[in-house]
Structure 1
């Protein structure tokens, strides 16, 4: 006993450590006078019980007191009610779950240890789920599993013919999804039998199978175990069909009630069927617990339990009660006085093998990819794509559609913008006719109309109004984006302003200026009009000076704009955003593609079945990487062709680095998709997670707005996001023409590579440990 339990009242069996023992200790303590010591000891009992069984909010799966021995070359029937732990125990046997304590040895080694073959080809596993690809034919399904187990195609075909006849399956060219429910169960059994494993684990293989075929299956199981070649562990709902098993283990509540041959159980418990044996053992397990109904009393009194001709039952006890539930009876609470009479039999298991494992070379640990596994996985992935050609065409064509929409919709100057103009130089007749006369040459007449002509050339629509208030009201009602007004002596004042020079009076300055009121609610349109109004005025002055044979430079502001070092003289937002949009399209489509493929396999049980067959998480990821990478190459090629050849986006750097960076970013998206599929349990959660990451990456990675314009608290985190450095790197290649030797470029490659390693590591760890 440890220091924490020192002083606690002892139990009849100090070797046990289950929750009932700790409850019993607590009950003894509650009957004693309440002191600090007893209260502390009661708390210890509660903590120990919670540690073993968990709380109501956080229950643990418990297999308590199990001592299971399966002799080689036998059929072992594992029976019990739903939820008693049968499937959990099988998961431990095949190495997909880990024990908190205890030992499991399968075929001479610990499940999951190097070289044990468990999980691996030494085991044939049929789960409760169908766990098959519906788009594959019967033959293709068996070829896939046969290749995993190292069989040749000829061997698979030979064994396929035999299994089709024995299991009464239709033609091998039938698709699995077109089979009936019973046929799919038999097809799942065939996949477990294809390679003649040493240990065959079947989780309810005969559900939905007619009695004649059920007997055929049992005859085959008896045949393959006859000479000790194969050992079978089988669970089933049909209890009495296990009469042909060599050994039966009856489970209830995570414990073994008995582990003997069927004949010994029937003889020992004087029962006509195995169902009666289980019911009697369940009643014996509940002896000493409270009985809450007269039905339970009748059930118990009607039984002739061995060693209990007239069981004395006490109905007044308030102890914790147990239940008989599940397939073998209604929920019946019962109890009796006295100790638990149905304890598991003492099984003397053979000695465990030594703890020392064989030594392996470094090459054994480095060779994590098996040729036959990769062949099967890659073939399976490509076959799935071929069978879903419509889906694949959509996946490949979607990025093309997105880049076309981007190039057609984003970055172009708005056209057809309406401006309300009040020109007091016009007569009433000219105003009514919406006509503003234009005089060419060196002619200082109606200069307001001459200026408006240059403004119209910038795709602006001019509408004339009589007063400034009318024009302003049009803008307020959203019918125009701005209002411009000219005074009645605008032309004379503009000429006088030039003639007077530095002595021009303020009144002339006022009349020589046009008044502009813009709707700046839309920044892009407001900024564009602000620019065009000024550019049109510069063009207007330059035209007059040329017509009057004067130097046009006189009308320019004293700033000389040379050719920009990088980029265009008039920036194009399409070119600015193109880098980030291209990377975002490839990244998130890769996320959707890989996460969807992995989740389909997980939810249908295919992933679990593959892991039990010996395929590792690394191999599964690599198989998806190979196939999805080829799809991504098609996507990338089409996106770049439409971007630079069809829509002629700017590219000043080397195309090679553009292609490599886009592919690396797509690969990063694939690994992020692996993380999502391993972290969540269904497509809805994966969609939420992908969408939840989409907007932050768009906003924070400098794709639509420079990082320099962000809040200071966001700048530092934004630099470490997956698309930030790669976007800046691609933008430097496209707009600046930089090569890989520039830090701004190669930092993008390095950052993306680091994220790939992070996502791959997380994915592998989740695949390895999430199932426990």
Structure 2
């Protein structure tokens, strides 16, 4: 939608605008004003009177509770209308600048959003740097003084020479000479006959507003006066706008402000007499044309009636609420994103990363560190375990011979003369177990093997190896039992061979044939490796995006981008494209170290492993975006990301099989974002399954479903919160 000055009477029209942040705290109370085309409109008032709220409604960042806002001939946010967009230049009260960017990079970011050619961006940047007396355009924003940063913020609003400028206190912290230079420039662009600019400016410096064409004095969410500066000075016979403002505030407090509003003339004399009102002093203040029934729903009160009583709480009798057709709402949600905007966001993100190379390097090194530590530290058999031994065998040499069969790599055998000393060693945590042999071990063992039918309980006990464990560590205890049992089986088998008997007599009557899936000698590393690969990729991606919007929202950067015309969807896509490239690099390094360096067995196709890892990274990224959309502060976003990590680790069958959980937890486990993916990864790596196997394709389906749901939820949260 192109708008030319000849089509419009006013740049901004506001009629009975109401806005409350909380139900009991109205900020704007039936405000009406009109900003003429090609003029400077000064909006003056103390902090907290509603100036910034009004401007945010004008630029489309806040939705009014009631009333009508028309900007450059259309409603802000209406599909096809470029507000937010390049019809306006917006300078917020906050700096809203990327501190790690140079002046030139800042201009290029906004210039690309406004579809400006590179040559035009360079030309405008050079002009504005000279005009605003800025240092070199190659200087970082963080290296500039507060006043210089504010001038850069002002330059961003001027960059694309918009027909409407919305400036929230642009001259704060600027020295008087430069302030006058800025006003001279504003007057020159307003008076440009070929491309006249309309300007709405708020300022704390009331006297500088005398240079504007119109001023509006605000207090407590209402207009006290709206007229040309000189007319106000003449009306109140004063030489200072500040004095006029003080007089109006005093008269408003005393409920004696003159009733000279043109809007008041449209109300009945009886209504004016019935209530003491504080009407607006205006040069000409006709109400906006009455809205059609199709566009607005009206209360039953007469049109144009106002009630600005001195208590400041009553609202206008007539409140307009604009009806937005469903088709327009759907088009605004599902409008095709702009490639220019997405590339601008991606370029901005990479510029940001380029200034943080240490952080970027850490993002690539961290998954390598995690998988290296896992492969080196987890899944191996314990070794060097101190074993307190007590050999009381005096009936032969079999006790001493058995001790030689103990694995020297697993055990460090520490001999003791009596059982009590050995037990004390374990109780003092200086040994893991006590291994003891009875006084008749050799005799009883031979009797047990030579005539098993005649063996008594005393013979069986005397010919046994007794083991007392420190059972506080389950894995170590299990390893000790396994190693001692294997040592005894080998020792007894050799002993039986000497008697011409089969060594199999000491084995359990259970034959372990070749496995149908997996390997003959599986390790705990092989069990955990699929889960660790999925988990590292998933939560690294979550961490990358969990703060995507939080920090920019906190600094006001998101507001500025959105007012420039970037949509929420475009911001999300820009962040996702940036993080996808980083996540792909992380995944590649992770899989290289897992499968190539540490030789984690992969019996299936590596292609499915790569695709599954990337898809889970995308799901983790979607979770991070949802957290970023939900949280307003860094601490809460970090806590939310960590809070999702541990339940997934514990319940997804990564550390311990889900089959060991209570039945009700198994259902929860299967529904978590990474549970099916872990099982799919295990099926490819350990079982050699392809995509057609149910565990594998269910892992892909689960990841896609979670990613889609989380992205839609993030988009919905961002739209509800308006970022």
TM-score normalised by the chain length of structure 1: 0.82
Q: Does 1:391 align with 2:329?
A: no
**SS of structure 2 residue aligned to 1:631:** helix
Instruction: Work out whether residues 20 and 65 of structure 2, in 8 Å CA contact, stay in contact via their aligned partners in 1.
Output: no
Distance (Å, rounded) in 2 between the aligned partners of 1:209 and 1:362: 44
- Partner of 1:165 in structure 2? 130
Structural mapping, 1:625-640, within 5 Å: 625-640=576-591
Distance (Å, rounded) in 2 between the aligned partners of 1:141 and 1:288: 49
Structural mapping, 1:495-510, within 5 Å: 495-510=446-461
Q: Alpha carbons of 1:370 and 1:559: their partners in 2 closer, same or farther (altered >3 Å)?
A: same
Deviates more, 1:398-407 or 1:223-232: 223-232
Residue deviations 1:439-459 (CA, integer Å, cap 9, x gap): xxxxxx512222222223452
Q: Does 1:578 align with 2:543?
A: no
Deviates more, 1:553-562 or 1:623-632: 553-562
- Give the deviation of 1:485 after TM superposition: 1.4
2:609 pairs, out of 658, 666, 678, with: 658
- Give the deviation of 1:375 after TM superposition: 2.1
Structural mapping, 1:271-420, within 5 Å: 271-287=238-254, 340=276, 342-345=278-281, 347-351=285-289, 368-420=336-388
Structural mapping, 1:333-732, within 5 Å: 340=276, 342-345=278-281, 347-351=285-289, 368-425=336-393, 446-457=397-408, 459-732=410-683
Distance (Å, rounded) in 1 between the aligned partners of 2:590 and 2:661: 29
Instruction: Work out whether residues 17 and 66 of structure 2, in 8 Å CA contact, stay in contact via their aligned partners in 1.
Output: no
- Partner of 2:38 in structure 1? 73
Distance (Å, rounded) in 2 between the aligned partners of 1:525 and 1:100: 66
Distance (Å, rounded) in 2 between the aligned partners of 1:248 and 1:719: 64
- Give the deviation of 1:269 after TM superposition: 2.0
Q: Alpha carbons of 1:458 and 1:452: their partners in 2 closer, same or farther (altered >3 Å)?
A: farther
Distance (Å, rounded) in 1 between the aligned partners of 2:29 and 2:355: 47
- Give the deviation of 1:426 after TM superposition: 5.6
Distance (Å, rounded) in 1 between the aligned partners of 2:502 and 2:405: 19
Distance (Å, rounded) in 1 between the aligned partners of 2:290 and 2:683: 64
Structural mapping, 1:116-131, within 5 Å: 116-131=81-96
- Partner of 1:45 in structure 2? none
Distance (Å, rounded) in 1 between the aligned partners of 2:331 and 2:249: 53
Instruction: Work out whether residues 285 and 340 of structure 1, in 8 Å CA contact, stay in contact via their aligned partners in 2.
Output: no
Distance (Å, rounded) in 2 between the aligned partners of 1:307 and 1:367: 47
**SS of structure 2 residue aligned to 1:63:** strand
User: Structure 2 unaligned runs (5+)?
Assistant: 1-15, 261-273, 296-323
Deviates more, 1:366-375 or 1:686-695: 366-375
- Partner of 1:151 in structure 2? 116
User: Structure 1 unaligned runs (5+)?
Assistant: 1-15, 19-51, 290-304, 309-337, 428-444
Instruction: Work out whether residues 285 and 341 of structure 1, in 8 Å CA contact, stay in contact via their aligned partners in 2.
Output: no
**SS of structure 2 residue aligned to 1:105:** strand
Q: Alpha carbons of 1:689 and 1:362: their partners in 2 closer, same or farther (altered >3 Å)?
A: closer
Deviates more, 1:551-560 or 1:461-470: 551-560
Distance (Å, rounded) in 2 between the aligned partners of 1:189 and 1:531: 74
- Partner of 1:248 in structure 2? 215
Residue deviations 1:302-348 (CA, integer Å, cap 9, x gap): xxx8799xxxxxxxxxxxxxxxxxxxxxxxxxxxxx96463224720
Residue deviations 1:631-677 (CA, integer Å, cap 9, x gap): 11111111111111111112111111111111111111111111122
Distance (Å, rounded) in 1 between the aligned partners of 2:258 and 2:342: 57
- Give the deviation of 1:727 after TM superposition: 1.2
- Give the deviation of 1:53 after TM superposition: 6.5
1:141 pairs, out of 106, 110, 113, with: 106
Distance (Å, rounded) in 1 between the aligned partners of 2:17 and 2:708: 44
- Partner of 2:79 in structure 1? 114
- Give the deviation of 1:529 after TM superposition: 0.9
1:85 pairs, out of 23, 34, 50, with: 50
Instruction: Work out whether residues 651 and 735 of structure 1, in 8 Å CA contact, stay in contact via their aligned partners in 2.
Output: yes
Q: Does 1:237 align with 2:204?
A: yes
Distance (Å, rounded) in 1 between the aligned partners of 2:449 and 2:546: 70
Residue deviations 1:518-577 (CA, integer Å, cap 9, x gap): 111111111111111111111112223345554322332211111222223333111111
Distance (Å, rounded) in 2 between the aligned partners of 1:90 and 1:240: 21
Distance (Å, rounded) in 2 between the aligned partners of 1:307 and 1:423: 111
Structure with the higher strand share, 1 or 2: 2
Instruction: Work out whether residues 287 and 340 of structure 1, in 8 Å CA contact, stay in contact via their aligned partners in 2.
Output: no
- Give the deviation of 1:366 after TM superposition: 5.5
Instruction: Work out whether residues 204 and 236 of structure 1, in 8 Å CA contact, stay in contact via their aligned partners in 2.
Output: yes
Instruction: Work out whether residues 281 and 342 of structure 1, in 8 Å CA contact, stay in contact via their aligned partners in 2.
Output: no
Distance (Å, rounded) in 1 between the aligned partners of 2:600 and 2:21: 61
State the Cα RMSD in Å. Answer: 2.6
Instruction: Work out whether residues 125 and 609 of structure 1, in 8 Å CA contact, stay in contact via their aligned partners in 2.
Output: yes
- Partner of 1:196 in structure 2? 161
Distance (Å, rounded) in 1 between the aligned partners of 2:290 and 2:166: 21
- Partner of 1:217 in structure 2? 182
2:144 pairs, out of 179, 198, 218, with: 179
Number of positions where the alignment pairs a residue of Structure 1 with one of Structure 2: 662
Instruction: Work out whether residues 259 and 278 of structure 2, in 8 Å CA contact, stay in contact via their aligned partners in 1.
Output: no
Distance (Å, rounded) in 2 between the aligned partners of 1:710 and 1:261: 77
- Give the deviation of 1:360 after TM superposition: 8.8
**SS of structure 1 residue aligned to 2:549:** helix
**SS of structure 1 residue aligned to 2:686:** helix
Instruction: Work out whether residues 98 and 106 of structure 2, in 8 Å CA contact, stay in contact via their aligned partners in 1.
Output: yes
- Give the deviation of 1:408 after TM superposition: 1.1
- Give the deviation of 1:146 after TM superposition: 0.7
- Partner of 2:267 in structure 1? none
**SS of structure 2 residue aligned to 1:456:** coil
Q: Does 1:259 align with 2:259?
A: no
- Give the deviation of 1:718 after TM superposition: 2.1
Q: Alpha carbons of 1:641 and 1:426: their partners in 2 closer, same or farther (altered >3 Å)?
A: farther
Instruction: Work out whether residues 373 and 615 of structure 1, in 8 Å CA contact, stay in contact via their aligned partners in 2.
Output: yes
